[in-house]
Structure 1
Amino acid sequence: MKVASHLEKIRSLEGLRARLEPLQDFELWFWAGMTAGTHAVNAALHHAAVTRDDDVFPMQPGVYLVAQPDRSLRPSFHPLGDVLHVGRPKVEAAVPEDVAAMMHQMEIIEGHRDPCVRDGVAPTVAIVDECDAALGECLRLLNKRMEEGAT
């Protein structure tokens, strides 16, 4: 995806999160935050020219949906553009320090995915606070990068 598309998705997801009650709506709140953070990491990777800023959409590592002349989408192998999650696929190129810090924040969030969403661990205020703080820092770093034009 293009950087501008990632930024628009982040705005939409943040709007959704603001309407949810984190403990009561945890799974939806969590996925919206994790997805927003992944969009932030992708926007920063593109901005830093680490990954490609293309109008293609990831399906699996290395496989992207590519728009066709008839407006359909076709799966195709493609060089690294968007990551699906931090580490999936692994970014082999050098990553700027601020983007690496964003990726670390996403690992904090993703550390709660399986226990709370898949394994039935009840979310707590501490988990919500940790996820919210990690996403906040990830988005702060993205905003700083975009404002300062860092590469």
Structure 2
Amino acid sequence: MKVASHLVKIAKLQALRERLDPLEDFELWFWAGMTAGTHAVNAALHQAGITLDDDMFATQPGVYLVPQPDGNLKAAFRPLGDVLHVGRPKVEAPVPADIAAMMEDMEQIEHYRDPCLREGLVPTPAIAQSCDAALQRCLGALARRTEGGAHGH
């Protein structure tokens, strides 16, 4: 996806999260946050020139839906554009420190995915606060990067 498209999706997901209760609506709140953070990491990777900022949509590692002249989407193998989750697929190129920190924040969030969403761990206020703080750090780093601030080189 293009950086601008990632930014639009982040804004929509953040608006959704604001309408949800972090504990009562934890699963949806969590997925919206995790997805927003993944969009942020992808936008930062594109902005840094590490991954392709292209009009294509990841379906699985290395496979993208690419718009065709007739308006349809066609699956194609392509070089790394968007990661689906931090580490999937792994970014082989050197990553600036600020983006590496964003990836660490996302790993902190994803640490709670299976326990809370699949294994029955009841989310606590501390878990929600930890996830939200990591997401806010990630989004803040993207904002600094896209506003021409620290680039972490």
Tell me which interval the TM-score lies in, with the shorter structure as reference length.
over 0.9
What's the CA shift for 1:74?
Answer: 1.0
- Alpha-carbon separation, structure 2, partners of 1:148 and 1:6: 17
Q: Does 1:24 align with 2:3?
A: no
Residue identity over aligned pairs, in percent, reads 68
Moved more, 64-73 or 97-106: 64-73
Matched with 1:60 is 60
- Corresponding residue for 1:125? 125
Q: CA deviation at 1:118?
A: 1.0
Q: Match of 1:131, SS? A: helix
Q: Secondary structure at the match of 2:120?
A: coil
SS of 1:148 mapped into structure 2: coil
The separation in 1 between residues aligned to 2:64 and 2:112, in whole angstroms, is 27
Quote how far apart the aligned CAs of 1:147 are. 1.2
Aligned pairs, how many? 151
Q: Deviations over 1:36-89 (max 9, x none)?
A: 000000000000000000000000000000111111111110000000000000
1:74-131 Cα deviation digits (max 9, x unpaired): 1110000000000000000000000000000000000000000111111000100000
For residue 112 of structure 1, what is the aligned residue in structure 2?
112
Name structure 2 gaps, 5 residues minimum: none
| TM-score using structure 1 length | 0.98
Structure 1: 4+ residue segments shifted above 4 A: none
Measure, in 1, the Cα distance between the counterparts of 2:78 and 2:118. 30
RMSD: 0.9
Q: Aligned partner of 1:109: which letter?
A: I
Which residue identity does 1:2 align to in structure 2? K
Letter matched to residue 89 of structure 1:
P
Q: Which residue of 1 aligns with 2:43?
A: 43
Query: Which residue identity does 1:22 align to in structure 2?
Result: P
Query: 1:76 — aligned with what?
Result: 76
